[in-house]
Structure 1
């Protein structure tokens, strides 16, 4: 059996940017990402890169890796990278469009799914699963 071959970081970057560009009205979302491996002293942020071990997603804050995931699945890495961006967009939308003090998820969750659906039906389905898991332990009242 031959070893898995992964996309190069530049190819991974192209695929992720292509998906992010499907979100209407949102430009330059890729600027939230660093498509390189972080090194000691790197700035805080989200890092996405590929190497012989697979696809990496790292979130760094205050010099510490607070998220450090590796996968050999292109879909997983795309979801890990895109979903937090969509969540931020949807909660910003909710803050601008919510009525009174309702749970912001009432507006944000449908917006998340709509954005994911603009990108890819499978991302949409995975988003539904993520929301269902959240609502199991923290229902909207």
Structure 2
């Protein structure tokens, strides 16, 4: 029960405890909870350690709880993480860029890099990988094609 209360408190805090992409990040990437807030590495590590302790406590207490209650808690936590913004990575912008190369421009993402989309806002956020062709497999690359429709600006 203590873990459920802790998870609920983290959920209420929303993205304030999750590093957001950037100050000019598109609204949709911040998740359904709101604005997001970059946190310091020290606070991130403290929260990571707290999560590890919570996992150990859950493992210890799992012998005392009904399995249905544990599955419900797992479902709630998975839902919260699904609705949260992407953590610690802007790879999502790479996926969008590779999807746009193939789906909108008809370019092969294995031959062209996001830099081939000079005015694309997703390609601008790719960072160091702006001039890198896709390293992802064909199935994953095909799955990224629907992301081409994601608004970034």
More strand by share: 1
Q: Which structure exhibits the higher relative contact order, with contacts defined as CA atoms closer than 8 Å and separated by 6 or more residues?
A: 2
If the length of structure 1 is used for normalisation, what is the TM-score? 0.32
More helix by share: 2
If the length of structure 2 is used for normalisation, what is the TM-score? 0.30
Max radius of gyration: which structure?
2
